[in-house]
Chains A and B, each alone.
Chain A
């Protein structure tokens, strides 16, 4: 049902690119053919896979670190008033600092390696996650918990069957958002301190003023993002929220 507008949106993006490429010289806006050719060369040489693998590795572990930190901090803030007051300003500071600051600090502390990249990503992206989890816990329906108690559910059953399912949409939404942030920070770290990864390649081709290569790497990046979104996030989300579907149709069923 939504396929047509989505295709239309992608097609118009491509059209815009074609127009811009026709108007500007290839050193400023290279056309799709040049870009796909550059991308083809990168993929054929195996180069692209190596750098993509390095970036994905950093983003993946960074995301795990971010989610772990974010859920832990968000849970403490949601459950304890003292914790909220204590961590509130930390999260605000975390949100306000530009990602480049984390990147520079981590590279100086830990050296020019993957570990530094992962820490920088994990620390920079977690405040957004903890805010989402914090709000999720605050907005939780406590009446459902007291229902569980009235039916003598064990503590662990209440957590597993009543609390966790209510937090799941928040975890999922924040994970999506965090993934976007992680990508951006990862390219920054790679740009300033790594000798591999998509960010490093962007910087390298920037140095050589090769616009078609810059476009090719950006496009590759986008393709991977779309793949993760449509092959992983969307299906998982659809499965987890199917209970919300088809609501209006049956309201009048009685």
Chain B
């Protein structure tokens, strides 16, 4: 469960003046079950559109998306929490229509907040937490539906580097513990190399997959590992030559 396969996906927007704007051009890739794939590209190139199509938030113009799995969790660039709900009520938001009883809900909330290390903050309100902690709550919310696939749209780009590093390490731990298939959109080369097994470099307007790179290094990886640096350098060259 959890494999993703995109075949020749294209997406066009029809502008107000009737003109067609091609956003995505023949995007094809595979992400195996339990794999970690990054989509790397410049800002505004349409990376997020790929995630929205997979999540069913948007319709593609042509091509095929096949997803092996029922549930998809989504983590956005901003935490997108409901500030008037407590941390635990935010995590349980997507589960509220499932008619679980109270104690089951509580246990689920505790479980997923525990995974992201925020167990003791469950009764806090989001505005009482730092940006990094808010993003952890958002990750817990995405995990709470027990998804087969986790889509992450530049989730750490709004955070300072120290916090982002900590969260990347934690994300790897969570990924290994839970075995989700993760598709991670980023514009940071080093982030994509540190996190993923496969990096898809996407070119801008219309977005198409320019290069596919495998990062064949064991986890947990260390910041400052020279092998990571080597791959990063290669990717940077490819990125700049695009």
The distance from the CB of A158 to the nearest CB of chain B, in whole angstroms, is 11
Chain B residues with Cβ under 8 A from A247's Cβ? 127-128
Q: Nearest chain-A residue to B131 (Cβ)?
A: A254
B78 at the interface (CB under 8 A from A): yes
B96 at the interface (CB under 8 A from A): yes
A153–B125 touching, CB < 8 Å = no
Number of interface residues of A (CB under 8 A): 26
How far apart sit A254 and B85, CA to CA, in the bound complex (Å)?
20
B93–A161 touching, CB < 8 Å = yes
How far apart sit A253 and B130, CA to CA, in the bound complex (Å)?
8
Chain A residues with Cβ under 8 A from B155's Cβ? none
Number of interface residues of B (CB under 8 A): 27
The distance from the CB of A185 to the nearest CB of chain B, in whole angstroms, is 33
| Contact A143 to B127, CB < 8 A, known contacts A150-B55, A254-B132 | no
A243–B129 touching, CB < 8 Å = no
B221 at the interface (CB under 8 A from A): no
Chain A residues with Cβ under 8 A from B93's Cβ? 151, 153, 161
A244–B127 touching, CB < 8 Å = yes
A157 at the interface (CB under 8 A from B): yes
| Contact A243 to B76, CB < 8 A, known contacts A253-B129, A254-B130 | no
A165–B96 touching, CB < 8 Å = no
How far apart sit A79 and B109, CA to CA, in the bound complex (Å)?
35
Chain B residues with Cβ under 8 A from A5's Cβ? none
Residues of B at under 8 Å CB distance from A?
Answer: 55, 57, 72, 74, 76, 78, 80, 82-86, 93-94, 96-97, 124-130, 132-133, 141, 145
28 A-B residue pairs with Cβ-Cβ distance under 8 Å, sorted by A, are A143-B78, A143-B80, A144-B80, A146-B57, A147-B76, A149-B57, A150-B57, A150-B72, A151-B74, A151-B145, A153-B93, A153-B94, A157-B96, A161-B82, A161-B93, A161-B96, A165-B82, A240-B84, A242-B125, A243-B86, A243-B125, A244-B125, A247-B128, A251-B130, A253-B130, A253-B133, A254-B130, A254-B132
**Leading 6 A-B pairs by shortest Cβ distance:** A151-B94, A243-B125, A150-B74, A250-B128, A147-B80, A254-B130
Residues of A at under 8 Å CB distance from B?
Answer: 143-144, 146-147, 149-154, 157, 161-162, 165, 240, 242-244, 246-247, 249-254
